[in-house]
Amino acid sequence: LLYRAVSGTRPKSASPTSFRLTEKFILLLVFSAFITLCFGAIFFLPDSSKLLSGVFFHSSAVETNTHTGPDSSDAGSGTHANTGRTCKLHTERPRPDGGIELRTFLLLLSRLTLFISHLLLLPLSPATPPLPLSCQMMKHAWDSYKRYAWGSNELRPVSKQGHSSNLFGSIKGATIVDALDTLYIMEMFEEFDAATDWVEKSLDFNVNAEVSVFEVNIRFVGGLLSAYYLSGKEVFRRKAVELGEKLLPAFKTPTGIPWALLNLKSGIGRNWPWASGGSSILAEYGTLHLEFMHLSRLSGNPEFAQKVMNIRKVLNRLEKPQGLYPNYLNPNSGQWGQHHVSVGGLGDSFYEYLLKAWLMSDKTDEEGKKMYYDALQAIETNLMRKSTNGLTYIAEWKGGLLEHKMGHLTCFAGGMIALGADGAPGDKTGHQMEQAAEIARTCHESYARTTLKLGPEAFRFDGGVEAIATRQNEKYFILRPEVIETYMYMWRFTHDPKYREWGWEAVQALEQHCRVEGGYSGVRDVYASSPNYDDVQQSFYLAETLKYLYLLFSEDDHLPFEHWVFNTEAHPLPVIRKDKTDRPNEVE
């Protein structure tokens, strides 16, 4: 099963020039002959079928022996995911029967050879199976974090030490919690067990520190909820609810619009000092809904759901300029701050959560649905534009004037629009799918037009340029997922091979320019001839970028969209079924 999905669905067309490196092919031929020899030897040795079944096939015996599957005794909800795919990196165990040393030796040799051929192919061809590669990337990112930064929030892969962002106060282990579900989905169960053990023993929310409510919610609460729904382990449910309760004081404002920052011990909140006269931010207070609905469901405490439903109420009472939602809202007065509208930073995931709230409610949340499609219409009318050479982009709006700039963050919108297209009112499904495809193309162009083939933080459509960053402080790439996320959604909905080819290009660029000995690093300038590292392996690289890459090359029944919605940090949450009140999230 390891290669089944990939061999059936690998990208079809490769650029002809990429196949002409003869030396590499000769080497490859030699290696292939060698592999054949090794395999032949294995087959002619006694008892080889058993050995092979443990390595190449997902036999139940192997599975029982090698992974910690859902722990049914722990399951609070009886909800377990059958992730149904495998990405195992090390499954064989020494066997006591005679002749094993030789077979094991040959096997290891053949695997080593495969690995070397894989490396040889890497810069050569998108026909190489990328699915095991995304697991290897995860393994490298995870092992490096474990080795150099275990327990810290993130890894500094160049200086090989821990890195702690102040977004999480003194809460530790952001990478561990953010990576839990990716490890589980990739069936890296040894690593998942180590992470679970750390959560059990060391994850501590009793800290006297100020945290970002949004970041802690999407990464920690979201990560724990997904880990719970996937594995059924009670510890994740308990920790998610404990953290959710600690976030509740953030809602103590005159309007109930939460503060951006909260001291977890004192329960005192405030807003970012730079945010338009003490405003709360749309993408922050608007990105709590999915997690809080699940917290109510898992804790039996309705308060979580009430808090986020109240945010809707406040928003629905307000007049929206041109139907748009400004990024700033004052939690004391309940009035908009500065009229800045963006589908990228400061606004992005608010729109995503309107759509996903509807989908996650088994399409019962009509209010969320209406708010999403109305907002999308306003975005189309006021912000979506086509460049002179036909690239569709989503601009930003400042007090009625357009800034012709699109952020890397905005590129998630291709995936979002594709995800919502099916439910679009009127006859708009086809139109929205076209918009989504256009946005994916533009975002791909933003990568293709750089030297490193990685996308800048923001790119512009003015002053004679299209999809290119013109300001030095917008040229960086910090391992963000949004473009690959959109490729993944577009692939699932269209099966157009170009999305896998584009994903493959991103894999090559990541391996070539971001992979370092101690993990993966962001780069400061994607137009430079060689990478200048920022020395941070962001936790969302493991939570999102690598997970979306993996799913891009997986089969569609792997975490199917009918059953799962991904929170904005790519943590899958099950659809809450309307017709199964006691066990609403049964997943096939």
- Told to judge if 367 belongs to the known catalytic residues of this protein, a careful annotator would answer no
CA 100/CA 251 separation, integer angstroms: 63
C-beta of 365 vs 544, nearer to ligand DMJ: 544
409-428: contacts with ligand DMJ (CB under 6 A): 409
State which residue, 191 or 215, has the beta carbon closest to ligand DMJ: 215
Residue with tokens 């974090």: 145
Whether 418 contacts 425, CB under 8 Å = no
457 is a catalytic site residue:
yes
328 alpha carbon, distance to own chain's centre: 26
Closest CA to 185 of 577, 560, 495: 560
Residue with tokens 């009229």: 339
Q: Per-residue string for binding with ligand DMJ, 31-50, x by CB under 6 A? A: --------------------
Q: How far is CA 282 from CA 177, 268, 352, 463, 557, in A?
A: 25, 20, 12, 30, 33
Q: How far is the CB of 540 from ligand DMJ (least distance, A)?
A: 4
- Bridge partners (DSSP) of residue 430 are none
Q: Which residue is nearest to ligand DMJ (CB)?
A: 568
Q: Which of 191, 215, 365, 505 is catalytic?
A: 215
Q: Tell me, residue by residue from 367 to 386, as one string, x for binding to ligand DMJ by CB under 6 A and - for no binding.
A: --------------------
Q: List binders of ligand DMJ among 163-222 (CB under 6 A).
A: none
Contacts for 463 with CB less than 8 Å, ≥ 6 apart:
470
66: closest CA among 192, 242, 190? 190
CB of 88 to ligand DMJ, least distance (A): 28
Catalytic residue among 396, 457, 501, 525: 457
Q: CB-wise, 128 or 217, nearer to ligand DMJ?
A: 217
Question: What does the block give as tokens for 483?
Answer: 């473009």
501 catalytic? Reply is: no
Q: How many helices (H) and strands (E) does the chain have?
A: 22, 18
Closest CB 63 distance from ligand DMJ, rounded Å: 32
Question: Closest CB to ligand DMJ among 481 and 572?
Answer: 481
List the interface residues with ligand DMJ, window 510-569 (CB under 6 A).
Answer: 540, 544, 568-569
CB of 236 to ligand DMJ, least distance (A): 19
- Determine how β-strand 328-329 pairs with β-strand 340-341: unpaired
Tell me if 456 sits within 8 A of 476, measured CB to CB: yes
SS3 392: strand
Strands 384-386 and 269-270 turn out to be unpaired
Residues in the interface with ligand DMJ (CB under 6 A) total 8
Which is catalytic among the residues 191, 396, 445, 482? 482
Q: Which of 348, 396, 445, 569 is catalytic?
A: 348
Shortest CB 480 distance to ligand DMJ, Å = 4
- 8 Å CB contact between 138 and 159: no
Which pair of tokens denotes residue 102? 């030789």
User: Judged by CB, which is closer to ligand DMJ: 117, or 287?
Assistant: 287
| Closest distance to ligand DMJ from the beta carbon of 47 (Å) | 49
Residues 472-501: x where in contact with ligand DMJ by CB under 6 A, - otherwise, as a string: --------xx--------------------
Residue type, 69: G
Q: Is 83 annotated as a binding residue?
A: no
Under the criterion CB under 6 A, does residue 88 sit at the interface with ligand DMJ? no
- What is the distance between the alpha carbons of residues 36 and 470, in angstroms, rounded to a whole number? 52
Query: Phi and psi at residue 212, in whole multiples of 5°?
Result: -80, 120
Q: Using CB under 6 A, pick the residue from 196, 212, 349, 392 that binds ligand DMJ.
A: 349
Which CB atom, from 91 or from 450, has the smaller least distance to ligand DMJ? 450
The minimum distance between CB 538 and ligand DMJ, in angstroms, equals 7
**Residue whose token pair is 């139940």:** 60
**Closer residue to ligand DMJ in complex, CB, 411/587:** 411
Judge whether 215 counts as a catalytic residue: yes
Rounded to whole angstroms, what are the CA distances from 321 to 177, 275, 351, 383?
Answer: 39, 19, 16, 13
In Å, the largest CA–CA distance within the chain is 79
Binding site for ligand DMJ (CB under 6 A): 349, 409, 480-481, 540, 544, 568-569
Instruction: Write out the binding residues for Ca(2+).
Output: 568
Please enumerate, by residue number, every residue annotated as part of a binding site. 568
Q: Where in the sequence numbering do the catalytic residues fall?
A: 215, 348, 457, 482
